Chains A and B, each alone.
Chain A
Amino acid sequence: MNLTLKIWRQKNASDKGKMVDYKVTDISPDMSFLEMLDVLNEQLINNDEEPVAFDHDCREGICGMCSLYINGEAHGPDRGVTTCQLHMRMFKDGDTITIEPFRATAFPVVKDLVVDRGAFDRIQHAGGFISVNTSGNTIDANAIPVNKHDADDAFSAATCIGCGACVASCKNSSAMLFVGAKVSQFALLPQGKIEATDRVLNMVKQMDEEGFGNCTNTGACEVECPKGISLENIARMNREYLSASLKG
C-alpha cells in the first residue's frame, strides 16, 4: 500500500506545532500501525530528518503507552484495540491518514504525538488504592469469599489500561470513565469498601483540579475505549460520589 500521512509535528511543549505531510510506500496490510510509523521514521532518519516521536512500549495492547488520534478517532478506526494492535489492513491503498496527539488541556503535548498523562497518576495518588500494608501479614485470601459476578465486574473495571482514549474522545475531555473504572473496581470488592467514601471524594476532587471536563453522557468514551470499559462505571461512580457527599 502507498499512503499519505498528515502528522502533527511539534518540537516541544512550548512550540506551536503544525500538520506536515509525508508519503510512505510498500506498506504491508499485516503491519501494525506503529510498524508503519517505524517505516516512516527509518525513512526520515535516512534522509537526515527528525523522526516522528510517538509513545509505545509493549505493542501487545496492554501497557497503555500508545495513543494517537487517527482520522479523528482515538486509536483509529478499529474497535476494541489500541494503536499498537491496529493493523494496516484496516486502511486502503492510496488513503490519506491524519495522525494527531490525544488533545486535552490535562494532557499537554511533550513532543509531536507524545503527551503527558501524568494527571492520571496524580488522580491515583489521591486514592486509587486500598490502604493495606505490604507486609504479607494479611488474612488468608479465601477468608472473605467474593461473589463471582462481583469479582468478574471488578475485574472488567480493573482492565482499564490508562491510555487516555476516553479523555481524547470526549468533547469535554472528561476523565470520568477512567476514574469511574478504578472507583468501581474497589467499590465492588469487600476489601475496598471501608475507605470508599474518602476514595471517591478525593479522586473526583483531584480529577477536577487536573482540568478534566464533565461527563455529558454522550458515550463516545465507551465506544472508543480499547478495553470496552462500560459507562456503568461512570454511573456507579456517580452513585458512590452522591452517597459519599451525603455522608459528608
Chain B
Amino acid sequence: MSLDSKVPQGPIKDKWTDYKNHIDLVNPANKRNIDVIVVGTGLAGGSAAATLAELGYNVKAFCFQDSPRRAHSIAAQGGINAAKNYQGDGDSTYRLFYDTVKGGDYRSREANVYRLAEVSANIIDQCVAQGVPFAREYGGLLDNRSFGGVLVSRTFYAAGQTGQQLLLGAYSAMNRQIGRGKIKMYNRHEMLDVVKVDGKARGIITRNLITGEIERHSAHAVVLGTGGYGNVFFLSTNAMGSNVTAAWKAHKRGAYFANPCYTQIHPTCIPVSGDHQSKLTLMSESLRNDGRIWVPKHMKDVEAIKTGTLKPRELAEEDRDYYLERRYPAFGNLVPRDVASRAAKERCDAGFGVNATGEAVFLDFASAIQRYGKETAHVKGLDENDAVLVKKLGQEVIKNKYGNLFQMYEKIVDQDPYNTPMMIYPAVHYTMGGVWVDYNLMTTVPGLYCIGEANFSDHGANRLGASALMQGLADGYFVLPYTIGDYLSNDIRTGAISTDTKEFEEAEKEVREKLEFFVTNKGSHSVDYFHKKLGKIMWNKVGMSRNVKGLTEAIAEIKALRDQFWKEVKVPGTNEEFNEELAKAGRVADFLELGELFAKDALNREESCGGHFREDSVELDGEQKGEALRNDKDFAYVSAWEYKGEPSDAVLHKEELEFKDIELKQRSYK
C-alpha cells in the first residue's frame, strides 16, 4: 500500500480553513446513531472524547487507570505554547510553525505543524473558559515564559503543574458529558486488540483489569490516544503503566508504525541513583530559564566535588565550565532538548560528571537568586548590598516560580536546591515516533485514528518544550472532531455494529490464548526481569548515541531476549482476577517486539537527526564542527513500517517530506 498523506492543496495558511469548508458533515440527528471508541483519556483522548460526545456521537472511553484524571499528561510540568503574541515580542502563527519544524530538525510534516500553530491560540481560550487557572500577572492578564529552542515568550503555564491543570480541564469536560450520559466511561480497562470488519476498524477487545473479564466493544470508528512508548527503556520519565500495547496491536492489524527510533531524551532529569530504581523524574525544562548549567573546568575539582571535599558553591566562577553558554552563545542554557542532552553527555563522557556515577551536571540557581533578589530589593526600596536580604528575597522569587519542583527535588535527592545546585542528567522522556497518520489523523487502517503522543506527525525528530500539551489538545479538541466527521458521514446508514461476528470472536480468542499462556507458563523469571534487560540494551545501544555495530548487536540481543521471555516468563495468579503481573506481561511482550523495530529503524537512519546521534554522521569542520550532521538528500522522509510478522520482516515505506514554506537548513543555536 502506498502512503497518501492526504495533505490538502493550496497555500499552507489556507489549507485547514479550506479543508473544513469542504468536508462532509454529519447531521446532528444522525450523530446519535454513531458510536465512537476512544482509547486513552489523557490530553488527546480526554479532549477528543469530550468533544465528540458534545458533538452528539455516542462515545465509549477507556483507560487502564482507576480514573481518567490519572493519565500521564498530568505529569507535564512546564507549559503549553500558543502563538498569542500577548507579549508583543513578534510571535505569530508562522513563527510558532517555523520554530516547531526547525526544532524537530525538519522531520515533521509541514501541513500538520502549521495547523497545530494555527489552532494553538484557540486552545488557551478554550482552557481558560473551562476554568484552568493559568498563571496571571498583577494586571489580571495571562503570564508567559519562554522555553528551550525559541526566542519569544509564548508559553502559558500553571506553576510547574501545567499538564495537571490542562488534563483536569479535559477531565472536567469529560465529566460533563459522562454526567449527561453521552460518554460511557470504562475505567481499569485495557485494550488488547483492534477488530477489523471488511477492512475497517469496528471495535476493540478489552480486559477488565479488576475482574479479568474479556469484553467486546464495537463502534463505527476507533480513536487511539494512548500516549508514548518511552517505557521500552524501562527507566524513563513515563508513568509505570504507560505502554505501547494499543498502538502495537493496531500496528499488527495493519497500521504502519512511523519513526519508531525517534525518542526524546530530556536534558533535565534527576540522575539515576542505583539499580533499585523504577523510574526517572523529570525536572521541568522551564528551570533552564533561570538555572545555569555547568561542570567544573578541571578534573581535580570534579574529584573534589565527588568526594565531598569541595562544595559546588565554593568553586570559583572562573573554574566552572558553563558549557552551553560557551558553545551556544545565542541560545545559551535555552538550546533545544536534544542539543542540551547531547552536550551534557559529551561532558560526562569526557569525565566531568559530578555525582558518584559520573552521570550528572549542575543546574545552578545562585545567579538567578542574586539577580531577582537585587531587583526585588530595588523595587521595595531596600538595601541592595545586604547579601543576606538579597538572597532571601531572591529565594522567594524562585520559590514562587518553581517551588513545587524544588520541593520534589529535595524529597527525592535529600539536598536543598536553594542552597546547592541541582544535579541533573538526560533521560528518556517523550516519543516522537508512533502510529503513522495522514492529515486526517487516520492510520493506514480505515476508521482507526491516532492522536497525541501516540501518533508521529507533529514533532519531527525532536520535540520542543511545551509543544506536547499543545498537540494533544489540538488533536482532541479541534482537529479530530472535524476529520472524523468526514469519515463517519459515510456511516449514517450502517446502524449499530454487532459484536456477535466471527471477526470479534477470532480477535477475542487470540487475546484469551495469550493470557492463558502467561498464567500457565511456569517460567523462572518475573516480567520485570525481562523488562529491565530490554531497557539496558535499549539505553546502551539504541539510546542517545548510536553506531552500526551497537545497533546490529541490539537487534540480535532483543530477539534472543524475546525468545527467552516466551520460554521463561513467570506470571503468578490467574486471568480471572486483578492481576498486575499479567497486565505487565502483555505490555512487556509488546515492548520486546517494538524494541527490535526501534533498533532496526535507527540502523536504517544513517544520519544524526534531533536527539538521534549517529556517531558516523558528524560535521567535520566549519562553525558546526562536532555537531550532529543531518542528511536531507537521503533521509528527508518518514519511515513507516508495515507489519509482516517478526520485526525483522517489517517492510519500510517512505513518506517523502516536502518543505515548501520553510527552507531546510542546518539548525544553528550558536
Enumerate chain A residues within 8 angstroms of B580, measured Cβ to Cβ.
51, 53
Report how many A-B pairs have Cβ atoms within 8 Å: 218
Enumerate chain B residues within 8 angstroms of A50, measured Cβ to Cβ.
572-573
Q: Which of B97-105, B123-131, B507-515 contacts A (4 or more CB under 8 A)?
A: B123-131
Given A64-B69, A125-B178, A133-B54, are A114 and B578 also a contact pair (CB < 8 Å)? yes
A87 to B415, CA, bound (A): 13
The residue from B210, B478, B528 contacting A42, defined by CB atoms under 8 A apart? B528
Q: Closest CB of chain B to A48's CB: distance in Å? A: 7
A139 to B125, CA, bound (A): 6
Which of A62, A81, A192 has the most chain B CB atoms inside 10 A of its CB? A62
A158 at the interface (CB under 8 A from B): yes
Q: Are B578 and A57 in contact (CB under 8 A)?
A: no
Q: Are A148 and B140 in contact (CB under 8 A)?
A: yes
A185 to B171, CA, bound (A): 15
A51 to B528, CA, bound (A): 13
Q: Are B66 and A60 in contact (CB under 8 A)?
A: no
Given A142-B86, A185-B131, are A136 and B179 also a contact pair (CB < 8 Å)? no
A126 at the interface (CB under 8 A from B): yes
Enumerate chain B residues within 8 angstroms of A64, measured Cβ to Cβ.
69-70
A156 to B621, CA, bound (A): 52
Enumerate chain B residues within 8 angstroms of A62, measured Cβ to Cβ.
74-75, 161, 164
Size of A's binding interface in residues, CB under 8 A = 80
Given A116-B66, A140-B125, A145-B141, are A51 and B581 also a contact pair (CB < 8 Å)? yes
Enumerate chain B residues within 8 angstroms of A89, measured Cβ to Cβ.
414
A223 at the interface (CB under 8 A from B): no
B67 at the interface (CB under 8 A from A): yes
A215 at the interface (CB under 8 A from B): no
A244 at the interface (CB under 8 A from B): no
Q: Are B412 and A191 in contact (CB under 8 A)?
A: no
- Mark contacts of A126-169 with chain B using CB atoms, 8 A cut-off: 1 yes-contact digit, 0 otherwise: 11111111111011111011111001101100110110000000
Q: Which of B97-135 contact A (CB under 8 A)?
A: 119, 122-131, 133-135
Q: Are A35 and B277 in contact (CB under 8 A)?
A: yes
A161 to B168, CA, bound (A): 10
Q: Closest CB of chain B to A179's CB: distance in Å? A: 13
B165 at the interface (CB under 8 A from A): yes
Q: Closest CB of chain A to B429's CB: distance in Å? A: 12
Q: Are A130 and B138 in contact (CB under 8 A)?
A: no
Main secondary structure of the interface of A (DSSP, over half): loop
B667 at the interface (CB under 8 A from A): no
A60 to B74, CA, bound (A): 10
A34 at the interface (CB under 8 A from B): yes
- Mark contacts of B567-578 with chain A using CB atoms, 8 A cut-off: 1 yes-contact digit, 0 otherwise: 000101100011
Enumerate chain A residues within 8 angstroms of B124, measured Cβ to Cβ.
141
Q: Are B411 and A81 in contact (CB under 8 A)?
A: yes
Q: Are A28 and B276 in contact (CB under 8 A)?
A: yes
A53 to B583, CA, bound (A): 12
Q: Which residue of A lies closest to B141 (CB)?
A: A142
B492 at the interface (CB under 8 A from A): no
Size of B's binding interface in residues, CB under 8 A = 81
Q: Are A155 and B578 in contact (CB under 8 A)?
A: no
Enumerate chain A residues within 8 angstroms of B119, measured Cβ to Cβ.
136
A228 to B632, CA, bound (A): 52
Given A85-B412, A136-B125, A151-B134, are A57 and B187 also a contact pair (CB < 8 Å)? no
Given A42-B528, A45-B526, are A60 and B187 also a contact pair (CB < 8 Å)? no
Q: Are B278 and A151 in contact (CB under 8 A)?
A: no
Which of A28, A60, A134 has the most chain B CB atoms inside 10 A of its CB? A134
Q: Are B581 and A59 in contact (CB under 8 A)?
A: no
Q: Are B138 and A148 in contact (CB under 8 A)?
A: yes
Enumerate chain B residues within 8 angstroms of A55, measured Cβ to Cβ.
66
B176 at the interface (CB under 8 A from A): yes
Enumerate chain B residues within 8 angstroms of A136, measured Cβ to Cβ.
119, 122-123, 125-126, 477-478
Enumerate chain B residues within 8 angstroms of A139, measured Cβ to Cβ.
125, 129
B50 at the interface (CB under 8 A from A): yes
The residue from A51, A117, A125 contacting B179, defined by CB atoms under 8 A apart? A125
Q: Are B133 and A85 in contact (CB under 8 A)?
A: no
B195 at the interface (CB under 8 A from A): no
Q: Are B407 and A134 in contact (CB under 8 A)?
A: no
Q: Which residue of A lies closest to B408 (CB)?
A: A61
Q: Are B125 and A141 in contact (CB under 8 A)?
A: yes
A118 at the interface (CB under 8 A from B): yes
- Mark contacts of A110-127 with chain B using CB atoms, 8 A cut-off: 1 yes-contact digit, 0 otherwise: 110010111011001111
Q: Which of B216-258 contact A (CB under 8 A)?
A: 237, 239-241
Which of A34, A60, A147, A162 has the most chain B CB atoms inside 10 A of its CB? A60
B142 at the interface (CB under 8 A from A): yes
A12 to B281, CA, bound (A): 33
Given A142-B86, A145-B141, are A134 and B54 also a contact pair (CB < 8 Å)? yes
Enumerate chain A residues within 8 angstroms of B650, measured Cβ to Cβ.
none
Enumerate chain B residues within 8 angstroms of A142, measured Cβ to Cβ.
86, 141-142
Q: Are A158 and B172 in contact (CB under 8 A)?
A: no
- Mark contacts of B40-74 with chain A using CB atoms, 8 A cut-off: 1 yes-contact digit, 0 otherwise: 00000001001100100000000001111111101
A191 to B84, CA, bound (A): 20
Q: Which of B121-179 contact A (CB under 8 A)?
A: 122-131, 133-142, 158-159, 161, 164-165, 168, 171-173, 175-176, 178-179
A159 to B133, CA, bound (A): 10
Enumerate chain A residues within 8 angstroms of B50, measured Cβ to Cβ.
134
B279 at the interface (CB under 8 A from A): yes
Q: Are A158 and B165 in contact (CB under 8 A)?
A: yes
Q: Closest CB of chain A to B123's CB: distance in Å? A: 8
B28 at the interface (CB under 8 A from A): no
Q: Are B133 and A154 in contact (CB under 8 A)?
A: yes
Enumerate chain A residues within 8 angstroms of B27, measured Cβ to Cβ.
none
A218 at the interface (CB under 8 A from B): no
A242 at the interface (CB under 8 A from B): no
A35 to B47, CA, bound (A): 33
B273 at the interface (CB under 8 A from A): yes
A31 at the interface (CB under 8 A from B): yes
A241 at the interface (CB under 8 A from B): no
Q: Are A57 and B239 in contact (CB under 8 A)?
A: yes
A61 to B164, CA, bound (A): 11
B622 at the interface (CB under 8 A from A): no
A74 to B204, CA, bound (A): 38
Enumerate chain A residues within 8 angstroms of B241, measured Cβ to Cβ.
57
Q: Are B578 and A134 in contact (CB under 8 A)?
A: no
Enumerate chain B residues within 8 angstroms of A140, measured Cβ to Cβ.
125
Q: Are A129 and B173 in contact (CB under 8 A)?
A: yes
A39 to B276, CA, bound (A): 8
A20 at the interface (CB under 8 A from B): no
Q: Closest CB of chain A to B610's CB: distance in Å? A: 25
Enumerate chain B residues within 8 angstroms of A138, measured Cβ to Cβ.
125-126, 128-129
Q: Closest CB of chain B to A38's CB: distance in Å? A: 6
Q: Are B125 and A189 in contact (CB under 8 A)?
A: no
| 8 sampled A-B residue pairs with Cβ under 8 A | A53-B578, A58-B239, A121-B175, A135-B51, A141-B142, A146-B140, A148-B136, A151-B134
- Sorted nearest first, the 8 A-B pairs with minimum C-beta distance are A145-B140, A129-B172, A155-B133, A141-B128, A138-B129, A125-B179, A136-B122, A151-B136
Binding site for B on A (CB under 8 A): 11-12, 28, 30-32, 34-35, 38-39, 42, 44-46, 48-51, 53, 55-65, 78, 80-81, 85, 87, 89, 110-111, 114, 116-118, 120-121, 124-136, 138-142, 144-148, 151-152, 154-155, 158-159, 161-162, 185-186, 189, 191-192
Binding site for A on B (CB under 8 A): 47, 50-51, 54, 65-72, 74-75, 84, 86, 119, 122-131, 133-142, 158-159, 161, 164-165, 168, 171-173, 175-176, 178-179, 185, 187, 210, 237, 239-241, 273-274, 276-279, 281-282, 407-408, 411-412, 414, 477-478, 526, 528, 570, 572-573, 577-578, 580-581
